[in-house]
Structure 1
Amino acid sequence: MTSAPAQPRPHVLLVAAPFQSHVNPLLRLGRRLAAKGLLVTFTTALRAGIRLSPGDHDGDGGDAEAGAGRGRLRVELLRGGGIWAPDDPRFRVASDMARHVEAAGPAALEELVRGQAEAGRSVTCVVANAFVPWAFRVAGELGLPRGMLWIQSCALLCVYYHHVHALAAFPEADAPGSVTLPGLPELEADDLQPLLIYASGQDLWRQMLVADLGRARETMSWVFVNTFDELEHSTIEGLRERLPVIPVGPLLEPDDADGEYSSTADDDGCTAWLDAHPPRSVVFVAFGSLVKNDSDEVAEIAAGLASTGRPFLWVMRDDNRAVLSADALAAACRDRDQGKVVPWCSQGRVLAHPAVGCFVTHCGWNSTAEALAAGVPVVASPRWSDQRINARFLVDVHRVGARAPTPLRRDALRERVEEVMSGPEAEAMARRAASWKETARASVCDGGSSDRGVQAFVCLLYTSRCV
């Protein structure tokens, strides 16, 4: 008697918007799914500057099943349909890029899905970032279940969902007021500015957000969120009445989530420089890949860091560094021990280094999650999008930092750094931050709250019920 043929592994197709901050969390979710035994393929319209892990580049070569169960995934880039070449200069304008991918992506994605079926690995479901509504349309037309990965906080998802569906009375643009939503503290008008809810109805990103969330309850089988239950429990529970929310975060590199600093992340000598400093002594400054500080603010930050007398590691992109005079930079650094300036570093791994005692941040969600997972108190200087809400939670709810004015000024920066590193509440902040580190780490370990969400999804793909 012959045995029945083995059931094929469920195949999850991940579709990312071509931004590094969107690519990274989706890749990390994909690796976790692959580690659970699923076949996972990642795709995006690759453009210059996007980093993909070399270990994930299987493409059409080799055994498609080889990495299953070991956290590897396949990468097949979107091709055809007139997709621009990665080095096309038109990719540099975010709105032009989004419109192009919206127009060319559907045909390329449909071709990719059909190619997978012809290769004997039919796609089981599609999981895409927010802000790629065309991917959800294609999946629906092909009859594939759909899941969204929301890469920001559940709090922001709650705000946007309630606004899109007119479920709460929000203050008018540029007017005082507040709004109270399920599972959230009362949010003042300042916390909500300048979110997309106040953008023009013709704004491209607002239109994509409305497309993503307008029918999410009817069309999305899963809404994965880059958070963990312990961090946003009440918000998650409140939103679950309306959306199938599954917390799967923090979606960090394994070394970052484990809180261990890897010497392989020695970017521009950062490892050796940090190794030379005592625990919790270094001020780490980074404002992400999009914030552009004007010349006055850059000079104020430099002077403020110098005035603390503390060693600092400052990630300053070339466009920001170009507006700071060599003399001002030299005065800030004084010598190699006082300050080190680099154009880029592996932020999560730097935060995990024991020498780092304070993180001056714009409070983007990736930076917020990395700070909590590393147990590092913050000086919060938010700019736009979700950053003000994230700062509100870090400072007022989780109480792991101090709020600084935006733009930063030297005296305010010095005062907030001292408050976080040596002020009356500094030790209490450090203890609370350390507690969040342990909780974040536990959430993604076997049996943790986020791991259970991932496992439940895997079980659903294998069978209608998990025994």
Structure 2
Amino acid sequence: MAPPPAQPHVLLISSPFQSHVNPLLRLGRRLAAKGLRVTFTAALRDGIRLPDNGDVDGGVRVERLRGCGMWAPDDPRLRVPTDMVRHVEATGPAALGELVGREAEAGRPVTCVVANAFVSWAVRAAGDMGLPCAMLWIQSCAVMSVYYHYVYSLTDFPSGDESDSNSSGGAVTIPGLPELSIDELRPLLVYTSGHETWRQMLVMDLGTMKEKAPWVFINTFDELEREAIAGLSKHMPLVPVGPLVDPDDDSGGVEDDDGCASWLDAQPRRSVVFVAFGSLVDIGHDEAVEIAEGLAATGRPFLWVLRDANRALLPDQDAIDAAVVAACGGGRGKVVPWCAQRRVLAHVAVGCFVTHCGWNSTAEALAAGVPMVASPRWSDQRINARFIVDVYRVGVHAPTPLTRETLRLCVEEVTVGPEAEAMAARAAILGEKARAAVGDGGSSDRGVQAFVDRITYGAAEP
């Protein structure tokens, strides 16, 4: 009888943004649960929530990318995203080579590398070391398809100028997607001015996926984006593995961050308005006051994540604090600087989610079956909002910036309006499909298992 194969070792490499770290780490936990040795690395910077160097999180060992001139996590230059990305791209390949060498010397040779967006340099460096590679796309398949069709000129895109109008009136038609307006496309890197470095990296990422990555994981599931996946799969080898949420989050509990668990436990079922805008969106002073006043006007209990870094940017903190205190009168509201978002969304007390529509937040809400108030800001968020409202029909669109009256009306519409029960029912069905996709034998689970089988038994191609 042939001996069993050696335990494969997958090295995960993330860009140093929390919204990039989270899905890749969650993918790592799934790989570890299927018997692989998994190590996670990134050129970390202060503010990224991650276990300490050398610790194990859900079967994933964490090793910070370091040495070779790489800046320390507290280096102030890392606070400038463009400078940070250029520095990591310059120093990362050598640091990665040293890390792979240390793992080999420790008896843990790396079998495969999985990198996410904006670290395609890692795929090239790993390829030079003879290691097979995969990439993880952390946004929706729809957005990836938009970028792909733009970069490879497969669809006629308007220029983005206010006066420009192509034959379809400024709209873009892409296989598997609804028609998208220029207003929905304008926040993307395709059009956003002043982001040339990020645009170049996006083009590089897509080229790397197309030419060098035999596996392209994507944070979605077949039942959610079947048509978009089918359309883009004609051009690259997609493996849906989403939604990338922690597998133990569906218990309905929430870790006790600033008393969130006990506070939520005391609220009626589906009564709480949960407000969070992710790790990067900064709201201004006026909008913060409007949100506080709007939440008070709903008459509902609410949990609002207002990051310390965001509060520090607000010039009139006394006015914000006064508005928050008034909104939280009688203990009806709670404001925290951070929470375990997915666990909050899974709590039975949460009735709707006011969100910026980042894809991580969107996927987490869909997996939890929670209706949404969509207030998109930039990047992919307007397209995600379009799908939330018009395709999945599990939410309503709110103008940006939010005002107290529009927030009150939107919360009312999604909780007690004429379509509220239908939205909640559709959200619950999508939540069931999401759980089935990542469960044993589900569509996403099969994709993960196929990858595990191939690297375990020595296949170099999917």
Aligned pair partner of 1:188 in 170, 181, 187: 181
Q: Structure 1: how far apart are the matches of 2:387 and 2:205?
A: 25
In the alignment, which residue of structure 1 is the partner of 2:258?
268
In the alignment, which residue of structure 2 is the partner of 1:413?
407
TM alignment of 1:343-362, pairs within 5 A: 343-362=337-356
Q: Is the 8 A contact 1:56 1:73 kept in 2?
A: no
Q: Is the 8 A contact 1:79 1:108 kept in 2?
A: yes
Q: Is the 8 A contact 2:123 2:208 kept in 1?
A: no
Aligned pair partner of 2:155 in 168, 186, 191: 168
Deviation for aligned residue 1:74:
2.1
Q: Structure 2: how far apart are the matches of 1:395 and 1:461?
A: 40
Moved more, 141-150 or 445-454: 141-150
TM alignment of 1:196-345, pairs within 5 A: 196-199=189-192, 203-256=196-249, 259-263=250-254, 265-322=255-312, 323=314, 324=317, 325=319, 326-336=321-331, 338-345=332-339
Deviation for aligned residue 1:392:
0.3
Aligned pair partner of 1:92 in 55, 72, 79: 79
Aligned pair partner of 1:52 in 47, 50, 53: 50
Q: CA RMSD in A?
A: 1.9
Deviation for aligned residue 1:107:
0.4
Residue type of the partner of 1:409?
Answer: T
Aligned pair partner of 2:452 in 436, 450, 458: 458
Moved more, 429-438 or 139-148: 139-148
Q: Is the 8 A contact 2:376 2:382 kept in 1?
A: yes
1:380 to 2:378 alignment:
no
Deviation for aligned residue 1:214:
2.3
| Paired positions, count | 449
1:371 to 2:365 alignment:
yes
Q: Is the 8 A contact 2:270 2:350 kept in 1?
A: yes
Q: SS of the residue aligned with 2:177?
A: coil
TM alignment of 1:93-108, pairs within 5 A: 93-108=80-95
Aligned pair partner of 1:142 in 125, 129, 136: 129
Aligned pair partner of 1:430 in 420, 424, 435: 424
CA offset digits 1:198-250 (Å, max 9, x no partner): 14597111111111112422211110001111000111111110011000011
Give the unaligned 5+ runs of structure 1.
59-66
Q: Is the 8 A contact 1:362 1:381 kept in 2?
A: yes
CA offset digits 1:389-416 (Å, max 9, x no partner): 0000000000001000001111111111
Flag the 1:246–1:56 CA change in 2: closer, same or farther, 3 A. Answer: farther
Q: Is the 8 A contact 2:374 2:385 kept in 1?
A: yes
Flag the 1:115–1:445 CA change in 2: closer, same or farther, 3 A. Answer: same
In the alignment, which residue of structure 1 is the partner of 2:98?
111
In the alignment, which residue of structure 2 is the partner of 1:395?
389
Q: SS of the residue aligned with 1:183?
A: coil
Residue type of the partner of 1:385?
Answer: S
TM-score, length of structure 1 as denominator length: 0.92
Give the unaligned 5+ runs of structure 2.
none
Q: Is the 8 A contact 1:11 1:39 kept in 2?
A: yes
Q: Is the 8 A contact 1:178 1:189 kept in 2?
A: yes
Q: Structure 2: how far apart are the matches of 1:5 and 1:429?
A: 53
TM alignment of 1:441-452, pairs within 5 A: 441-452=435-446
TM-score, length of structure 2 as denominator length: 0.93
Q: Is the 8 A contact 1:298 1:320 kept in 2?
A: no
Residue type of the partner of 1:301?
Answer: I
Residue type of the partner of 2:83?
Answer: D
Flag the 1:320–1:39 CA change in 2: closer, same or farther, 3 A. Answer: closer
Residue type of the partner of 1:127?
Answer: V
Flag the 1:442–1:109 CA change in 2: closer, same or farther, 3 A. Answer: same
Q: Is the 8 A contact 1:55 1:72 kept in 2?
A: no
Deviation for aligned residue 1:277:
1.1
Percent identical across equivalent pairs?
68
Deviation for aligned residue 1:152:
0.8
Q: Is the 8 A contact 2:15 2:43 kept in 1?
A: yes
Q: SS of the residue aligned with 1:83?
A: coil
Q: Structure 1: how far apart are the matches of 2:16 and 2:359?
A: 18
CA offset digits 1:242-292 (Å, max 9, x no partner): 011000011111232xx22224x1111111111111101111111111111
Residue type of the partner of 2:457?
Answer: T
Q: Structure 1: how far apart are the matches of 2:333 and 2:61?
A: 41
Q: Structure 1: how far apart are the matches of 2:245 and 2:172?
A: 32
Residue type of the partner of 1:309?
Answer: G
Aligned pair partner of 1:19 in 14, 17, 20: 17
Q: Is the 8 A contact 1:255 1:262 kept in 2?
A: no
Q: Is the 8 A contact 2:157 2:172 kept in 1?
A: yes
